[in-house]
Amino acid sequence: MTSVADLVARVRPAGAADAAAVRRRVDALAKPPGSLGALEDVAVRLATALGDPPLALRRRTVLVFAADHGVAARGVSAYPPGVTALMCGAFVSGGAAVSALARSAGAEVVAVDVGVDAPPGALPGVMDGKVRRGSRDLSVEDALTPAEVCQAVLVGAAAVLTRAAGTDVFALGDMGIGNTTAAGAVTAALLGMPAAAMVGPGTGVDAAGRARKEAAVTAALARLGDSRDPLRVLAACGGLEIAAVAGAVLAAASASRPVVTDGFITTAGALAAVRLAPAAADWLFASHRSPEPGHHAQLAALGLEPLLDLRLRLGEGTGAVLALPLLDAAGSMLRHMAPLAAVLPRPGA
């Protein structure tokens, strides 16, 4: 993949099966129509993307995109920036939350350094896609140059494309101290919403920290003006991992692979991807509803209904991994349920 424009041009809408035909078949299975609720909606989308019935999603990869954020120096997080690099070590050693949950779901975790503030070679076992050692401080200047944004998008795309042949479904995760601030700025800009509507507790910052987050987002939005161009927004706000998520979504859609978002950060990246290539939305599945106030607006804009609502606010891809068995169940429903007519030979009897 040589350019973001190439990547965008390769995105194809889902169409392996006709959605209305799949819905009719789901309605005719051995259950009252609609009685499996949201699982039926997932089944219809999965079959539309992959064919009816869809193949089992046996091989699953969680891509955890990691980067640091200049704005973290402003005290917008409960944790210091050095945690980003340390958590990359935990993804590799298997002691992180996403590692434990991925093991349970039969998924492989791949951590990708898109811009961790650590020297080259400092993160053994992490895929190296470092664009720079952290983004600039979005509260005072553009976080990234246009070239850096494109490079990060292509890192995310490459992470998907190098694994696509051996992966049936991708789950997306993020790691980056300060990245709810960047995601809030990206989301506010793309949706034309105020900073206050985007600023939540993150992983546990206090009220003063929230006020600093809101001030930082407000400053980024003021600098950005009215632009809603996704690449321009990503340059103004960062972060490198959000741009990489956008690239991963575009690449998954181009490679006909379902891709599961996690919380506020990855959904910000997915939103940017869909603004670049609307058909990418066909390949997106939302895992959970985050307590972050802006997540609801992101999902509404994408037209996605999340499957879980467990008060998760960790990131790393934990929610995305937890949702994989629900995608499995939806597929199994299509592969194994009998038609109602086969169970009730004389309907109305």
According to CB under 8 A, which residues from 242 to 301 bind a copy of itself? Answer: none
Q: Taking the complex as a whole, how short is the minimal distance between the CB of residue 23 and a copy of itself, in angstroms?
A: 16
Q: Is 322 in the site for a copy of itself (CB under 8 A)?
A: yes
Helix (H, G, I), strand (E, B) or coil at 62: strand
According to CB under 8 A, which residues from 184 to 223 bind a copy of itself? Answer: 203-204
Q: Are the C-beta atoms of residues 4 and 153 closer than 8 Å to each other?
A: yes
Mutual orientation of helices 179-191 and 230-237 as an angle, nearest 10°?
Answer: 150
Q: Taking the complex as a whole, how short is the minimal distance between the CB of residue 181 and a copy of itself, in angstroms?
A: 16
Q: Taking the complex as a whole, how short is the minimal distance between the CB of residue 28 and a copy of itself, in angstroms?
A: 13
Between 222 and 338, name the residue whose CB sits nearer to a copy of itself. 338
Out of 18, 20, 55, 93, the residue judged to bind a copy of itself by CB under 8 A = 93
User: Exposure string (b/e) for 283-305, b if CB count within 10 Å is 16 or more?
Assistant: bbbbbbbbbbbbbebbbebbebe
In whole angstroms, give the CA distance from residue 60 to residue 105.
9
List beta partners, residue 320: none
Question: For a copy of itself, which stretch binds (CB under 8 A), given 85-93, 148-156, 160-168, 248-256?
Answer: 85-93
Q: Is 96 in the site for a copy of itself (CB under 8 A)?
A: yes
Between 11 and 87, name the residue whose CB sits nearer to a copy of itself. 87
Between 87 and 272, name the residue whose CB sits nearer to a copy of itself. 87
Question: For a copy of itself, which stretch binds (CB under 8 A), given 95-103, 182-190, 235-243, 249-257?
Answer: 95-103
Q: Are the C-beta atoms of residues 171 and 163 closer than 8 Å to each other?
A: no
Between 58 and 228, name the residue whose CB sits nearer to a copy of itself. 58
Residue that the structure tokens 């990245």 belong to: 179
Q: Taking the complex as a whole, how short is the minimal distance between the CB of residue 319 and a copy of itself, in angstroms?
A: 9
Residue 166: which residues within 8 A CB-CB, separation 6 or more? 59, 61
Q: Are the C-beta atoms of residues 81 and 130 closer than 8 Å to each other?
A: no
Active-site residue flag, 305: no
Out of 78, 92, 122, 164, the residue judged to bind a copy of itself by CB under 8 A = 78
According to CB under 8 A, which residues from 99 to 158 bind a copy of itself? Answer: 99-101, 103-105
Q: Are the C-beta atoms of residues 185 and 69 closer than 8 Å to each other?
A: no
Out of 15, 80, 146, 303, the residue judged to bind a copy of itself by CB under 8 A = 80
Out of 19, 28, 39, 197, the residue judged to bind a copy of itself by CB under 8 A = 39
Question: For a copy of itself, which stretch binds (CB under 8 A), given 12-20, 89-97, 171-179, 212-220?
Answer: 89-97
Out of 37, 121, 124, 192, the residue judged to bind a copy of itself by CB under 8 A = 37
Q: Are the C-beta atoms of residues 290 and 312 closer than 8 Å to each other?
A: yes
Q: Residue 230 to residues 22, 247, 294, 321, 328: CA-CA distances in angstroms? A: 33, 12, 17, 27, 32
Q: Are the C-beta atoms of residues 319 and 290 closer than 8 Å to each other?
A: yes
Residues 5-34: x/- map of binding to a copy of itself (CB under 8 A)? Answer: ------------------------xxxxxx
* Residue 41 CA from chain centroid, whole number: 19
* Residue 274 CA from chain centroid, whole number: 11
3-state per-residue secondary structure call for 213-239: HHHHHHHHHHHHCCCCCHHHHHHHHCC
Question: For a copy of itself, which stretch binds (CB under 8 A), given 6-14, 177-185, 192-200, 339-347?
Answer: 339-347
Across the beta sheet with 284-286, what order do the strands follow? 127-128, 107-115, 60-67, 169-175, 259-261, 284-286
Per CB under 8 A, residues contacting a copy of itself are 29-39, 78-80, 82-83, 86-87, 89-90, 93-97, 99-101, 103-105, 203-204, 307-314, 318, 321-322, 325-326, 328-329, 331-333, 335-338, 342-344, 348-349
- The residues that are catalytic are 316
